[in-house]
Amino acid sequence: MSLERRLCLVYAAILLAVAAINYIPGLTDDSGLAFGIFALDPFDDALHLASAIWAFLAGLIANRPARIFLLIFGAAYLGDGIFGLFTGWGFLDFAIFTNPSLGPSFAFPRIAANLPHIGLGAIALAAGVWTTRRP
């Protein structure tokens, strides 16, 4: 199995775990914040679950669907995390369309809330680009 397909299966597992965070006792505080940093609503859970299914299927099918997943998912999640740093809201859950901008912030809570999307997105995008250029 190729690197990109294995990476898609890893992403599927990570995204399934993220979708389950709200439903595992002790991972959210009394305010509903996961790890005391960010809130995940049912729409976020559905987005993560759909992404996990997409990653899983891409990883099972072939190299090309796996690369496409890594490129599109990577760009979308990286962009969402960057938007979060500059506006306080992401676009994947349509929050930038329903909430006023909070302005840019590089304070720890904002970085911590957006780092998962930035990190996962950057790794996926880099892997997608690298595997596309690989002979």
What is the rounded CA–CA span in Å between residue 103 and residue 133? 37
In this predicted structure, what is the pLDDT of residue 112?
A: 92
* Residues facing 33 on adjacent strands: 39
Q: Which of 32, 62, 47 is nearest to 120 (CA)?
A: 47
Buried b (16+ CB within 10 A) or exposed e, 49-75: eebbebbbebbeeebebbbbbbbebbb
Residues of the chain with pLDDT under 70: 135
CA quadruple 38, 40, 44, 45: dihedral sign? positive
Domain that holds residue 84: 3-133
Query: What's residue 132's pLDDT?
Result: 83
The per-residue pLDDT for 47 is 93
User: 38 in helix, strand or coil?
Assistant: strand
Give the per-residue pLDDT at 81: 96
| pLDDT at residue 42 in the model | 87
**Dihedral (Cα; 20, 22, 23, 25), 10-degree rounding:** 120
Q: Which helix (H) or strand (E) holds 131?
A: helix 108-133
User: What's residue 32's pLDDT?
Assistant: 75
Q: Distance (Å, rounded) from C-alpha 121 to C-alpha 108?
A: 19
Q: Compute the Cα dihedral for 116, 118, 123, 129 and give only its sign.
A: positive
**Neighbouring C-beta atoms of residue 44, cutoff 10 Å:** 20
What domain count does the chain have?
1
